[in-house]
Amino acid sequence: MRKRVTVGGVINGFLLVLIAAVMLFPYLNVMATAFNDGADAALGGITIYPRVFTLENFKVILKDSKVIRATMISVCSVVVGTLFGLFVQFTAAYAFSKKSFPGKKLITVYLMIPMYISGGLIPSFILYSTLKMLNTFWMYVLPGMFNFYNMIMMRTYIKTIPDSLQEAAKIDGASEFTILWRIILPLSAPILATVSLWLAVGYWNDWTTPLYYIRSTRLQNLQYLLMRVLKESEMMTRMLADAIVSGNLNNLKVTVTPEAVKAAQVVITTIPIILIYPFLQKYFIKGVMIGAIKE
């Protein structure tokens, strides 16, 4: 049966299209600037498509050894942090989903307190310094491995799986580890995809860790480098000068500007998440809805 078109539906559709356009325009404008000739973009008038197409802005960034190294640090922290985080939070969620878990309520309250009361930056710095984590790669990974909210989401989802399924597996001789990895894990794909996306975005966007806890330039990630580029005009000028001197640009004409290179770096840092999301989107809504409802 054909659905009847209503005035309210038309208004809602128009509002959604308008909101989507308002949200997409700034990013499309930045992307157009990134792919546009810098000198031409400085004249203004760039909307959502490049007027003079070029890849010179990206060449300046990708030829910089610091950017390549920072990108590798970001990618490694996302992969390692997401895998470790999923393992820790999923196993904790499985344990908290058990009614027979002793002291569950007390431990839940204990883990909930840091959500509202934080020790602050200085105690955290002292703690990480005592643990010898400063200026190491693990500074990116270990602090974000456990998230109480994500664990509660996973626990709630696991509780939706019938207990009779686990009881049948125990009758067949399955251990807790077998039930966890061969039954609960495959059935938890939606919530795992949802949490993995949250973890990946969190690790990818992390720029405060190298700001506070890492002094070595070899361990700075891409987001911290982007923050510096956006705030320090001297760094952008150096990148352009190095590219011209090394011959990475096609000519010595000023066709690459700091603003165009900044736009190119914004595109580079956002493209990975944009590419990953469509593959997880079908699980995302289902995982959030089921994991957020407690019956």
The pLDDT of residue 252 is 42
CB neighbourhood size of 131 (10 A): 12
Residue 14 belongs to some domain of the structure: no
Nearest to 40 by CA among 256, 268, 258, 230: 256
Report yes or no: 235 and 228 within 8 Å, Cβ to Cβ: yes
CB neighbour list of residue 138: distance below 8 Å, 6 or more residues apart:
none
Residue 173 belongs to some domain of the structure: yes
Q: Which residues in the chain show pLDDT less than 70?
A: 1-3, 230, 232-255, 281-295
The pLDDT of residue 41 is 82
Tell me if residue 53 falls in helix, strand or coil. Answer: strand
CATH assignment of the domain containing 200: 1.10.3720.10
The pLDDT of residue 283 is 67
Residue 27 belongs to some domain of the structure: no
Half-sphere exposure of 143 (CA within 13 A, CB side): 21
Residue 37 belongs to some domain of the structure: no
CB neighbour list of residue 271: distance below 8 Å, 6 or more residues apart:
none
Residue 96 belongs to some domain of the structure: yes
Residue type, 59: K
Residue 160 belongs to some domain of the structure: yes
Q: Hey, CA dihedral for 86, 92, 96, 97, is it positive or negative?
A: positive
Q: Among all chains, which residue has been given the structure tokens 């105690």?
A: 123
Residue 2 belongs to some domain of the structure: no
Q: CA-based diameter of the chain, in Å?
A: 76
Distance CA(125)–CA(127), nearest Å, equals 5
Domain of residue 123: give its range.
55-292
DSSP letter, residue 2 = P
The pLDDT of residue 237 is 60
Tell me how many domains the chain contains. Answer: 1
Nearest to 147 by CA among 88, 207, 74: 88
For every residue of 47-93, DSSP letters joined together read -SS-SSB-SHHHHHHHT-HHHHHHHHHHHHHHHHHHHHHHHHHHHHH
Residue 244 belongs to some domain of the structure: yes
Tokens representing 18?
């308008």
